[in-house]
Chains A and B, each alone.
Chain A
Amino acid sequence: MTAALINVPAKARRGDIIEVKTLMSHIMETGYRRTAAGELVPRNIITSFTCRYNGKEVFRADLFPAIAANPFISFFTVATDSGKFDFEWIGDQGFSETASAAITVVE
């Protein structure tokens, strides 16, 4: 089960600027919070997000603890060819998730 929500238009005209919205379920523990006992909760965040469109990187982000839990990221790209968007999230404590979405580009 993947914890990602992806929103990519299923169909677009070639040359259209499309918005890609992504949401990954993750606690994004800052590493600055303490338990009631006063112990620091270790940092556990997503540090990197990448989007590839037909294998070519179109967007990348470095995330810090100041990104809210369940990181939502949206950005734009130009619809060039039918194919696939591949998304990858990498984080602390070996966190790694991928997701993909298909798009059909018409003339």
Chain B
Amino acid sequence: MRKPNPSTRRRFLGFAGGMAVAGAVPIVTVRPLQATPAMLASAIRNVTGSAEVHTGKVKLDIPPLVENGNTVPMTVSVASPMTPEDHVKSIHVFNEKNPQPNIGNFYVAPAAGRAQVSTRIRLADSQKVTAIAQLSDGSFWSASVDVVVTLAACTEDVI
């Protein structure tokens, strides 16, 4: 009887596994296409135009350390009386290092009562997340949070 030598098979599998890992490394290092700070700046300019963006009024609630970048809970709230004269028109959320700088645009009506939006987002890397709110008087206010992500989202392989 011919029996495959188990030690040879084990060696072969170990070798093949090693090759697969070695083969995957360059792909991983090359692939992450990222939004550059310039793309982020232009995405923000698309929203704000030439207006100055002030810091404050906006509160961005997001965990500072997330394990899985595929679902990161996020809440943006804006301090505003939400009256027809003084309310928040829209909230825009941006990121630094996902393939695309935009995360979402949320348009709230003066009738919202409270300018607050929650959703779940994806983060491809540890990065800064920025929320910008446009008020009814045309001014822009922002808040930024640095988030550390251990498992990246967006560009991982489909299994």
Contacts and interface: CB of A to CB of B under 8 A. Distances in A.
Interface of A: 17, 30, 32-36, 41, 53, 56-69, 71-78, 80
B113 interface: yes
Q: Top 9 A-B pairs ranked by shortest CB distance?
A: A17-B113, A68-B120, A78-B113, A62-B105, A76-B114, A66-B103, A68-B71, A60-B107, A74-B118
A53 B70 CA distance: 31
Nearest to B92: A62
A80 B111 CA distance: 9
A72 B70 CA distance: 13
Contact of B98 (A61, A66, A76): A66
A6 to B, nearest CB: 15
A14 B76 CA distance: 25
B119 A58 contact: no
Contacts, number: 112
A96 B110 CA distance: 27
Given A35-B157, A61-B107, A76-B114, A30 B120 contact: no
A61 B109 CA distance: 12
Contacts of A61: 104-107, 117
Interface string B83-125: 0000000000001001110111111110111111111111100
Given A33-B157, A34-B157, A60-B107, A66 B95 contact: yes
Given A65-B100, A66-B102, A66-B104, A75 B122 contact: no
B158 A41 contact: yes
A32 B33 contact: yes
A30 B115 CA distance: 28
B73 to A, nearest CB: 8
Contacts of B42: none
Contacts of A66: 95, 98, 100, 102-104, 121-123, 154
Nearest to A15: B113
A62 B154 contact: no
